[in-house]
Amino acid sequence: MIRVSEEAQALIRRLLTNEGAPGGGVRITAAGEEDGGSAFELQATESPERGDVVLETGGVRLFLDRQAADALDDAELAVEDGDLALAVPEAAGCT
């Protein structure tokens, strides 16, 4: 399961409040290949889309499309340079 750092949880809560969707979450979608690894898009949204895997951790919700859910099983969502960033293990074929 994807892990979310405490700093990322706080940033997500602020982001959702600023977007007017305090009960929403962050949707993570697979966006193809980039630099030899998988690329993902993150977007604040009010609700999941049909077929999304919904995870709740630390009071924040993540909505992952099926491809992202499979690829990010051991990933961590953290904050890097003030933005959300995914750290994906090399074993998953991503850098």
CATH code of the region 3-92: 2.60.300.12
Let me know: does 53 contact 63? Beta carbons within 8 Å: yes
- The CA distance from 34 to 4, in Å, is 23
- Distances in Å between the alpha carbon of 86 and those of 12, 23, 28, 50? 13, 22, 10, 23
- pTM across the whole model: 0.85
Where exactly are the structural domains of the chain?
Answer: 3-92
What's the pLDDT tens digit per position in 22-55?
889 999 999 876 666 678 999 999 999 999 999 9
DSSP-derived 3-state class of residue 57: strand
Name the pLDDT band for 94 (thresholds 50, 70, 90).
very low
